[in-house]
Amino acid sequence: MMAAGMTSNRLIDRLPVVRGHYAENADLSKVTWFRVGGPAEVLFRPADSDDLAAFLSAKTNDIPVTVIGVASNLLIRDGGIPGVVIRLGDAFTDIAVSGPGITAGAGVSNLKLANAARDAGIAGLEFLSGIPGSVGGGLRMNAGAFGGEIGQILISLTVVNGRGEKIMLSAEEMGYSYRHSEAAEDFVFTEAFFRGTKGDPVKIAGRMKKIQTEREASQPVKTPTGGSTFVNPPGKKAWQLIDQAGCRGLRRGGAMVSEKHCNFLINCGDATATDLEGLGEEVRRRVKKQTGVKLEWEIRCIGIPAGPSAEPVIKEVRGDE
């Protein structure tokens, strides 16, 4: 116990009382799909949306807040994330069906939502089964794959802003475009309402099976990765530009450009976030030099570097090397 008059330098001692759970120096590498990254200074798992709103309302403005989902399309740097990292848990995983509509908490995985829609005979959400991650992350970036995207099926959503205010928005107010939204940075998505069309569960399941088969055949789904690394430039495919620049199989430390799909970076087992981000930047440099196209990251790179370190050797890798 601190003596009277002493002031704690620990962030956790400055945070408001919550009904959820705080964890200090929480290891985030265990939750990212890349299996890399430094710790959260404090990880907060709110008990529910009211707890989340109360926290955001009561915390002081000088405390930075970062929201993460299941971290399937996220690269957390090796120095970790200062401030409070919010991760929504079980209280944000409810699903409710109403006719051709379906409401899902932001913590629901895209696959679970697609499965629920299938079971309810709601067509139009099948593409979600091919997108790793959760509803919240998909809402933020207008996630899409296999001919569909979030903005096409979204009707409305609920957010909590940085002042702790709950706001309901329409899909139109999100300002969606390809892999982008105009949502305010301080929005924390909590729930969304989607609408499909009436369909046959057997036929829906067949379409989902086809998506899964195509995904497993073309993407390195059994390797630690972060999904599509770069946004497709207008009228072009990122993977084709990467291949054209000779980057398929390129390595940096424990990170590698996938041989199977070269718009994926993979952790070969001992990669650091520095390896992965550095490799991605090298790919961007080579593509720009070779094709004149500047690739934009689709993966979010957040947090702080671990500090200066020796540059790993970049080398070409082919076959079973």
pLDDT of residue 102: 98
User: What pTM, to 2 d.p., does this model score?
Assistant: 0.87
The pLDDT assigned to 179 comes to 87
Q: What is the pLDDT of residue 308?
A: 53
pLDDT of residue 5: 52
pLDDT at 155: 98
Q: Using CA atoms in the order 126, 130, 134, 140, what is the torsion angle rounded to 10 degrees?
A: -90
Same-domain status, 101 and 171:
yes
Helix (H) or strand (E) run with residue 27 in it: strand 21-27
Shared domain check, 97 and 209: yes
- Do 209 and 103 share a structural domain? yes
Q: Environment class of residue 226 by beta-carbon count within 10 Å: exposed (0-12), middle (13-18) or buried (19+)?
A: buried
| Containing structural domain, residue 64 | 11-90
228 is catalytic: yes
Say whether both 174 and 95 belong to one domain: yes
Catalytic residue among 118, 228, 282, 286: 228
Report residue 261: phi and psi, to 5°.
Answer: -150, 110
Can you give the CATH number for the domain in which 135 is found? 3.30.465.10
Q: Which residues, at least 6 apart from 17, have a Cβ–Cβ distance to it below 8 Å?
A: none
**Active-site annotation holds for 126:** no
At 265 the pLDDT is 98
Domain count, the chain: 3
Q: In this structure, are 121 and 59 located in the same domain? A: no
Same domain, 78 and 124: no
Mean pLDDT, each 10-residue run in order, the chain (321 residues): 59 97 96 95 98 98 94 94 96 96 97 97 96 93 92 98 97 93 94 97 97 93 92 95 97 97 96 97 98 96 77 39 31
Among candidate residues 179, 195, 207, 215, the one labeled active-site is: 179
